[in-house]
Structure formats: C-alpha cells, structure tokens
Chain A
Amino acid sequence: MSNDRETILTRVRDALAPLKERAPLPDWDTELAIMRRLVPAHEPWVLFCERLVAVNGLPLDSAAALAAWLREHQHLHGYCDPALWPRLAAHFGEGFTVETEYDRARVDDYQFGITAAAGAVAETGTLILDDRATTRRLAALTPWVHIAVLSRAAIFADLQQAVAAMGDDPNIIWCTGPSKTADVEGILIEGVHGPGIQIALLLG
C-alpha cells in the first residue's frame, strides 16, 4: 500500500513535469452562485417555506399544527428527541405513542421521527442536520415522516452562507425535501430509503 502511494505520487509528478505552467486557482465571487432573483426577496422563514414546498416538503410553525397533521394522517406512533419532547408533549393528546428512546430492532414501528435541525437554508428549502443536533441518524431517516425542529435564528439566507458556516461536526447532511427517485421511467417516487414526507417545524 505504501508502495502504491509512492507509485501514484511518482506518476503524478512525472505526468505534470512537462507542464510549463500550472493553471492558477481562480478566486470567485460567491454572489455569482446565489439565486438573487429569490434571495433576499423575503424574510428567511417565509422564503424557506416557499422553497421547501417547491421540493415537496411541508413547513409548519407550531407544535399544535404538527400534532394535528400527524393525527389527521394517522401517524400516531413515533420517536421524539427527549430534549424536544417537553416542548411538544402538551400538544400531543390521547392516541399518540411517542418514544424518546429509539430501538433499531423496530425501525418499522416508528411512523414519524422528531429530531432537531442544526439549521436551514432559505434559498433552497434545505434542512441542515448534523451529529450534534441529531440524537440518532436512524431516527431522522427510517420513519416515513421526519420532522426537523428549527429555530428562526438558524436559517441562512443562501447556500453560500451555509457553506461558509460549516464547522467541525464530523457529519453534516443537507436534506432538501423527501427521499426520492426517478429511476423507473423518469417517474418521481418519494420515500425510497428515507422519509417519504419531510416536515420542518419552526419552534422559536
């Protein structure tokens, strides 16, 4: 293996040796890659909602609205981040079974999973999850409905800001709408391996 390292690096150096000059690294203005037509047309949460809906996601702005939606769609059994549950519990009345411990042996028992988002991007309707904010990667992925809980202050206006703010969390994932495929005849199907419904819940 260390041999392969030397082989590759030697071959790279030999391949580049004849070049009289090397292409310079261009600096570029992030402004060019921002959809300026949209940003900042609105207040970040308003734009975020519009863009999330455009990728078939569902924005909600109260715990009561979430509970009502879940009840309406008969999603009564789920998982919730134990740190978030105290803020939501009062709105979830009778009939709900909400676990605050996720058991990977019963992944199909959870119809919904509620976890905290690390942030969001208004421009694209993207939810940002990371290892620190998400109690369990699986809980945000395996249930049919994923609810990411978001605070207004954590919404970036555009993607460039979100890139610039990426810290040292070892795993950051941007989720832009529900899991989907168009592999079969180009027909859009949602809920392939991950959630079929992606909800963003604004709390605070």
Chain B
Amino acid sequence: MKFQQIDQFAAHLRPSTRAAVYDGSKKGHEKRTQVLFDHYPDPDRLRQLAGEIKQHVIENLDTYLPAIEAKLKANGVIVHWAATAEAANEAVLAIMRARNATRMVKAKTMVSEETELAHFLEKNGVECMETDLGEFIVQIDHDHPSHIVKPIIHKNRRDIATSFEKNGLGAYNDDPQTITRRARDFLRKKYLVADVALTGANFLVAESGRLVLVTNEGNSRFCLAATRCHIAMVGIEKILPRDRDLGLLLNLLGRSGTGQQLTVYTEFITGPRAPAQPDGPDEMHVILVDNGRTDVLASDCRDILRCIRCGACLNVCPVYRQASGHAYRSVYPGPVGAVLSPLLMGKDFPEKADLPKASSLCGACNEVCPVDIPIPDLLLRLREKGKREHSAAAAAGTPPMGAWSLLASQPTAWKAALLGGRIINYLPTKMLPIPALRAWEGKRSLPAWRGGEFRHWLKGRARSPGAPPPTSGGQSPRPS
C-alpha cells in the first residue's frame, strides 16, 4: 500500500462535504473558546481538575464499579454487566423479550453505536427508532454519524431534504425549520407507542447512583416521559465520584461540546419514577459495558478513558477538518477516535493502526480537551505499537527510518551526506530516487540543498577570528 487511507479519503472528499465539516467544526471551536474564556478567568485550571478527577476514577475502577453497582441496586435499578458488544446487545434484547416489547425509542448513545445495537435489534424483530434529529437522519439514510455530537456535520440541508422526500416525510423542502417540524411530528408518534426507552449516560455518580443525561432537543426526556421501561447502556469509565463533581464536569461538557454554558436538558435519574408521577418508567436497567475498555485500561493509553465525548478535539483538529469523520472508519473519529478506535479493536489493532498516524501532532486537541487528555503522547505510543506489530496500514507511505538512524548516529557519514546531498540540486524531480522526496515535491517546491555551508562558515570564522561574518544571502531555489 502506497498511501495512507485517511489521506486518500480526504483527497477524494466531495468539496461540499469538506466545506460543511470545516464550517461546522470551526464554528464549534470558536464558540467553545469564546464561552469558556468569557465565563471563567482560568478555564485551563478547570480542565486540569476535571482530568485529575477522571484519572482518579479510571485508576480506581476496581473499587468504583462494585460501589456503583451496590448504589444502583439500593436505588431500585436492575444492574447488568456486559463484557462484549454481543453481551450488551443480548442483554437489551432479553429485557425487551421479558416484557414482550417490540418497539424501542432510543436517545443518542455512543456505546450503542459501538455495539451496533439498532441493527442487532432490527434483525431480531424489534423496531429501534433513533430520536436525536441527526441520528434519525443518519438512520433513515442508512449512513453513519461522522461527529460525536454533530452526527450529520457532513450533510447539507439539500442532502437531508432529499432523504426526507425519499422516506415519505413530505415533499422536498430544505428549510431547516420544516425539516425539524416534520421530524417532530413523526417522532412524537413513535415515543407515545414505544415500550422501552434506551439511553446512554454522560455520567454515573458513585456517591448517589445518579445517572446523568444531557441533550438539547429533549429527546431523551421524551423517551423517559412516554415509556414504562428505561434501559441505559453505560461504558464502565463513565463514573464520577461525587455529585459535586457534576458542578465541574457539566460546566465543561456543555461549553466544550457546543459552546453552551449548559445543554438545554440535563436530567438526573436515580431510579424508576416517583410513586405519584404518572409518566415515566417503572422499571430501570443499567448495563455496564466493557467492550474493550479493560484492554485500554491495561494499556499505556488508559488516559483516553477520561474522555467525556464532547467533540471539542474533533472541532479543533485540522486533520479532521480536511478528512471528515468517515475517513476514520470508526464510531469515534478525530483525535480521540485515532486513539480509542484502534485500541477498542483489541488484537485486531493493526487494522486501524493507521489512525494514530493521521495527525501532525500539533497538540491543539490537548489544549481544548475538557479532561486534559495528552492525546499527542497517546498517538505517539500507538504509532510505536503499530510499528512493533508490523501494521501494514500504519506503514503505508511512511519513510523507513533504519538507514536514516544509522546515518544520524555516525557523524562522519552524516557530514559526507551533507555534502553529497547537493546532488538533488541538479536532478529533475522525476528522477529523485526517494519516495518521500517525491511526495514532498508533489505539493511543494524543495529549497536548495546547502549541506555543509553552516559548518564551513563556522570553520572560516575559527580560522580568522574577528573577521566579519559573511553576508546573509537569500536562499535560492533549486533548479527544476
């Protein structure tokens, strides 16, 4: 393989898609920055604190997991454990079957994307309706989300209007207001006849057993107002120690994700509805899902488990902006995805070991991360792992480093190469013998090789101390 897959995907991306992704992510980043720095004198301190809290949780999951289980049970919640995606999906299906339930409404949850729950349930005769507007559009389009919080960032209104028309949701109309109203009318009928609601969790508080859900549209609220059974699929890393920690994490989540001080709806659920409340579930299940997370925990990249799925690293990432989310071939795109997705592959890591390569290591992701994950360091560790495990996907288009390291550890050879390199000044591009140089020259001109000049100048000065230094000539380009 000659080229990196993500680079090839980017090269063939529809220009309107690139423009949509660029505009959406740029706006998201600008709003985030403005709101955080407008509201707080030292947002970085908040990010560090939140990172420390979540790092504490993941390094103490052995005590937090049994603790949260006990608390949930005491609150009247039925707790399930699922080591794999299959086990998680089977657990959902078993709950549905026990209630003779055939209709589910579903709020957005990333872990259910990992397990491909909707697809699994449909195969087993359960209607599984996505209710988040973006996820709903992805579902009727048989597409995939391309951003963690803005699933249809890659689509424009014309794309959406076309698929609404195709799916019997009215004649073509690309007015965003009309699109939204049509989805509102269609989905409220679905909520009201559904048997079961499925959600994820943004946080699960060990101290209180509080499960926290945030949305802007109110879809998870509708799920939990209209149905009698609530199932929450929750990754085992979602725990927070104390209720008071929500006061920090919620403030960071809304601002980092969508540039809001708070998402519109923040729901805190400790169990089935109150006795006097007519609406809402009388049965609540929490499925604690591993699905590769313990592999991540065992790795030297466990810091990525701090992630709260805000999408800020996607928005700021210049590579994501060029390539779009689908380039990552994963549920999780962008910088967080480049770390998490290959790790969640387990032993098939090498298949996606090219993802950590898709970064200039600029570090913008770390700067915006609300839990201060050192993403560039983790990308580097995974590059090393990809090389060690001989990943062909990772190796594609990467110059081999063996000869270079030999040269760069032998000063005599290095000095000879500095002089010998001048040959590139006299060869036309096509004859350049090194693929990396050709890749460079495909996009950029190469400056003139001036190997040895600096050392020559230094020597000249040493021979005649006090002599004025040579004048600084401009760099002349190499002839092509």
Contact = CB atoms under 8 A, between A and B. Distances in A.
Interface of A: 1-2, 4-5, 7-9, 11-16, 19, 22-26, 28, 30, 32-33, 35, 37, 55, 104, 107-108, 124, 126, 131-132, 134-138, 141-142, 159-160, 163-164, 166, 168-187, 189, 191-195
A189 B180 CA distance: 7
Contacts of A181: 133-134, 180, 216-217
B221 A194 contact: yes
Given A163-B243, A166-B268, 4 more contacts: A107-B188, A164-B244, A171-B270, A192-B133
Contacts of B4: none
Nearest to B161: A184
Which of the four size classes fits the interface of chain B? 35 or more
Nearest to B82: A4
A35 B272 CA distance: 34
Contacts of B59: 16, 19, 22-23
Interface string B255-272: 000101111111111111
A95 to B, nearest CB: 26
Interface in B60-87: 60-62, 65-66, 75, 80-84, 87
Interface stretch (B49-57, B325-333, B427-435, B453-461): B49-57
A90 B179 CA distance: 40
A85 B280 CA distance: 24
Contacts of A16: 59-62, 297
Closest 8 CB pairs of A and B: A194-B218, A131-B274, A15-B298, A137-B225, A11-B294, A192-B217, A137-B279, A179-B218
A108 B191 CA distance: 13
A86 B288 CA distance: 47
A22 B60 contact: yes
Contacts of A131: 273-274, 276-277, 280
Nearest to B90: A1
Given A26-B49, A33-B247, A170 B274 contact: yes
Q: Which of B46, B81, B225, B276 counts the most chain A CB atoms within 10 A?
A: B225
Interface stretch (B115-123, B152-160, B379-387, B394-402): B152-160
A178 B264 contact: yes
A171 B268 contact: yes
B124 interface: no
Interface string B136-161: 01000000000000111000110010
B77 to A, nearest CB: 10
20 contacts: A4-B83, A12-B236, A15-B298, A15-B302, A16-B59, A16-B62, A23-B52, A35-B39, A35-B261, A159-B250, A171-B270, A171-B274, A171-B280, A172-B268, A179-B216, A181-B216, A183-B133, A184-B176, A192-B133, A193-B184
A192 B39 contact: no
A172 to B, nearest CB: 4
Contact of B221 (A7, A37, A137): A137
A7 B191 CA distance: 36
B177 interface: yes
Given A137-B224, A181-B180, A4 B39 contact: no
A184 B160 contact: yes
A29 B131 CA distance: 38
Q: Counting chain A CB atoms within 10 Å of each CB, which of B56, B176, B226, B273 scores highest? A: B176
B8 to A, nearest CB: 27
A104 B192 CA distance: 8
A53 B184 CA distance: 24
